[in-house]
Amino acid sequence: MHRTVDRVTPRILVVEDEPEMAALLARGLQEEGYAVTIAGNGIDAMTFASETSFDAAVLDVMLPGMSGFELCRRLRDESSIAILLLTARDALDDRVRGLDAGADDYLTKPFEFAELAARLRALRRRDLIGASRLDVGGLHIDMTRHAISAGGTQLRLSRTEFDLLRLLAENHTRVLPRAEIIDAIWGAAAYIDPNIVDQYVRYVRKKLDGVESPARIVAVRGIGFQLIADGQ
């Protein structure tokens, strides 16, 4: 187990039980300007996360003891940290399970480090966008806390779900094309399946329905999506 902490550079938590892969990731991420903390299992990762405020986490799905899915779920319960899952399996069910657990993005092994670095840069850019607060269609969006509430109830959102709903709220006067949504949220359109937008829209719709929000996400066939409110 190796731990490197820097108070100036962005902090990233890497959870990987294969020492060689962990070392490769740490070296590459340090060259990208990150301060890297490595954990070989979920328990150590949770301990580190309780002691340090990380900007992002890269989690291998296949971990000893606690799986990457469970670790992702626990980290999401504790914070709004950006989470990228690494999996050796390319089955749709695994990808859906990871997103359901609160992951913001995923990569299937083997992958090029340049792609991982691009995904992390996209996740990091999200924290630097927008004003401190936005109220649209009965939604109250706190950019600083990465929190959205409706009717006094806070929605439990992953980072990507938050960013999607924020983006639609900021642009509620127009229909957002899928390509524009991908570029704004994932920032690496060449690597992204356009269907992921529809998948996240379904997640966010379900959570809006759960709090009986007046805001709704509607699909405009052949174009994209728009956030509207009843009476708008």
Give the domain ranges of the chain: 11-127, 130-229
Mean pLDDT, rounded, for 157-168: 90
Please state the rounded mean pLDDT for residues 13-32.
94
Measured from the Cβ of residue 120, the count of other Cβ atoms closer than 10 Å reads: 21
When the pLDDT of each residue in the chain is averaged and rounded to a whole number, the result is 83
Strand 224-229 versus strand 215-220 pairing type: antiparallel
- Over residues 34-46, the pLDDT tens digits come to 899 999 999 999 9
How far apart CA 195 and CA 202 sit, in angstroms, is 11
Angle at 48 between CA 15 and CA 45, to 5 degrees: 30
* Strand-pair category, 147-150 with 105-108: unpaired
What letter represents residue 196's amino acid? I
Distance CA 187, CA 147 (A): 22
Of residues 116, 71, 65, 126, the one with CA closest to residue 97 = 71
Same fold for the pair 11-127 and 130-229? no
pTM score of the predicted model: 0.57
Contact 83, 54 (CB under 8 A): no
- Reported as a pLDDT band with limits 50, 70 and 90, residue 116 is very high
Domain topology for 130-229 = Arc Repressor Mutant, subunit A (1.10.10)
Give 47-87 pLDDT, tens digit per residue: 999 988 888 999 999 899 899 999 999 998 887 788 999 98
What class, spelled out in words, does domain 11-127 have in CATH?
alpha beta
> Which residues pair with residue 149 across a beta bridge?
140, 154
